[in-house]
Amino acid sequence: MKTILVDMDGVLANTNQHFIDYEYKRNGNQILWENISGLLEAEAFPNFLEDVNSKGFFRTVPVIENAVKVLKYLNEKYNVLIVSSATEFPNSLTEKAEWLMEHFPFISWKQMIFCGRKDFIIGDIMIDDHPKNLNLFSGQRILFSQPHNANSKVENSVRVSGWDDIMNIL
């Protein structure tokens, strides 16, 4: 059975939408998706650091469309491991585990990995929105489209625009 490494932020979790919502609630500043194309999150969202360090941010992030349905399907067919860069923000760790347990109850704690870098985790397929993670991965690379990677090219990768695309590939 092949092993798939699945990222959280920007792949399972709609972190961009959450930043946009936090910013709007904070000061009525409506950031538009089309205006953040090509920008890193820290560039796109003026209160990025405050948000990621605030209690509850990662616990309340919305789920990306169709992620539950497709991950459930993949979980029957593959060895799914959820691999999230999270240790930079210690508060996020417990919140991310609880979030997965709530929204993806078919994923067990044995399938979760929270780390600082992903190049010491092995697998056959990686689904990630960050080119830096895919570029260090030797297996099949799936780039999940997000505004920040709009202009990125990752060698030997397939770009997908959402979970339905992944269902068609895997």
Residues that bind a copy of itself (CB under 8 A): 3, 81, 87-88, 90-91, 93-94, 96-98, 101, 108-117, 120-123
Q: How far is CA 33 from the centre of its chain?
A: 17
**Residue 21 annotated among the catalytic residues of the structure:** no
CB of 90 to a copy of itself, least distance (A): 4
Please, what is the minimum distance in Å from the beta carbon of residue 166 to a copy of itself?
Answer: 20
Nearer CB in complex with a copy of itself: 95/129: 95
Provide the residue type at 65 as one letter.
E
CB of 31 to a copy of itself, least distance (A): 27
Q: What are phi and psi of 113, to 5 degrees?
A: -135, 120
Strands 157-160 and 140-144: parallel
Q: Which residue, 36 or 126, has its beta carbon nearer to a copy of itself?
A: 126
Collapsing DSSP to helix, strand or coil, 158 comes out as strand
How long, in residues, is the chain?
A: 170
| 7 classed as catalytic | yes
Least CB distance to a copy of itself at residue 50 (A): 18
The Cβ of residue 72 has, within 10 Å, a number of other Cβ atoms equal to 14
From the candidates 9, 51, 128, 129, which is the catalytic residue?
9
Instruction: Return the number of the residue (49 or 113) whose C-beta is nearest a copy of itself.
Output: 113
From 124, 41, 148, 146, select the one nearest 159 (Cα to Cα): 146
* CB neighbour class for 121 (10 Å; exposed up to 12, middle 13-18, buried from 19): middle
Select 103 or 159, whichever has its Cβ closest to a copy of itself.
103
Tell me which residues are annotated as active site: 7, 9
